[in-house]
Amino acid sequence: MQQLQKNFDSRESLIAYVKELAPWAEGERSYIQGGWQKAEKKLASIDPINYARTRNFGDGNVTKLSPYIHHGVMSLNEARNYALTKCSEPLQITKFIQELAWRDFWQRILSSHPQWAWEDIEPYKTGFSAENYSDTLPGDIAEGKTDVACIDAFIHELTATGYIHNHARMYLASYVVHFRRVKWQAGARWFLKHLLDGDVASNNLSWQWVASTFSHKPYIFNLENVDKYFGKLVDTSPLTNQPLHASYEILLALLFPNLGGHE
Ligand SMILES: Cc1cc2nc3c(=O)[nH]c(=O)nc-3n(C[C@H](O)[C@H](O)[C@H](O)COP(=O)(O)OP(=O)(O)OC[C@H]3O[C@@H](n4cnc5c(N)ncnc54)[C@H](O)[C@@H]3O)c2cc1C
């Protein structure tokens, strides 16, 4: 068996080595760097107290620890124990610990129901059945060339860096499944191809949650919501984001016409 090289003079020589091993790997290099030292530095910079108040905002205090956790560089316990040293009272960081627990929860669900990785857990609650959804991701989404500016910005970030904010993941998943009527499986495969933290449990079960095959209703959003949380970071002008520029009432009627009177 081929022994892999472990030590490199520079990141450049590591990147050249990886390219040699995986010439098919596409895309730009991410700003996120691997290894325990980088993970430790990231951990030292977290702000678990302000996390709860700001985590839904694109520029909020999220940690970007997920690539390290996913690759086993850091455990959930290490993240939690360090966060506990940053507060005087555990209740101050409840939300942060709850989010770590979500990861654990998804892992446990999938290990007891491995078939849920790719099978619909329940029917869609959208007024459509699975056959009404396309099996493949449309090319304009894969290329980040839809007619929705903020969606293209999130897609670019996903494909160029391998990381996007949780809220942006929810927007993209909802756009793919509900605005474009594509099966969640196609979207989940696409995310797994690009995410540095790509993890079948957290990813696929979250896609099922957005799709409504693992929740009681579909998750949808509108331009006003994107503007509130990401207005400083992406183009949220109504002119360049027309498909999202409507009230929830109108969007529900447009996206799920068979439901009639959906709350
Ligand atoms: C459609 C969709 C796909 C997703 N795909 C993945 C994936 O492939 N891999 C993955 O690790 N997470 C996934 N998530 C969950 C969540 O978006 C990421 O864990 C989080 O955004 C990672 O960024 P962070 O480290 O800055 O998170 P922070 O907000 O700083 O949270 C700290 C840690 O808690 C855990 N965590 C936070 N939120 C969640 C959540 N909702 N579910 C599970 N764990 C969470 C993660 O381990 C994260 O590193 C997905 C969510 C959605 C909606």
Is residue 173 within 8 Å of 187, Cβ to Cβ? yes
pLDDT category of residue 261 using cuts at 50, 70 and 90: low
The encoded tokens of residue 225 equal 């919501």
The encoded tokens of residue 64 equal 């970007």
* Helical residues (DSSP H) of 114-258, grouped into ranges: 139-142, 149-161, 166-174, 184-194, 200-211, 223-230, 248-255
The binding-site residues of ligand 1, defined as CB within 6 angstroms of any ligand atom, are: 55, 62-66, 69-70, 99-100, 102-103, 106, 166, 169-170, 173, 191, 195, 197-199, 202-203, 206-207, 210
Separation CA 145–CA 165 (nearest Å): 20
Q: Which amino acid is at 185?
A: Q
Do 11-112 and 130-255 share a fold? no
pLDDT category of residue 263 using cuts at 50, 70 and 90: very low
Tens digit of pLDDT for each residue in 22-42?
A: 888 777 788 999 999 999 999
Going by alpha carbons, the residue nearest to atom 3 of ligand 1 is: 203
- Which of 2.40.128.20, 1.10.3720.10, 3.30.210.10, 1.25.40.80 would CATH assign to domain 11-112? 1.25.40.80
Going by alpha carbons, the residue nearest to atom 50 of ligand 1 is: 203
* Domain range 130-255, CATH class: mainly alpha
Separation CA 172–CA 194 (nearest Å): 13
Tens digit of pLDDT for each residue in 86-105?
A: 999 999 999 999 999 999 99
Domain residue spans of the chain: 11-112, 130-255
Going by alpha carbons, the residue nearest to atom 24 of ligand 1 is: 64
Tens digit of pLDDT for each residue in 219-240?
A: 999 999 999 999 999 999 999 9
The per-residue pLDDT for 145 is: 98
Tens digit of pLDDT for each residue in 109-154?
A: 999 999 999 999 999 999 999 999 999 999 999 999 999 999 999 9
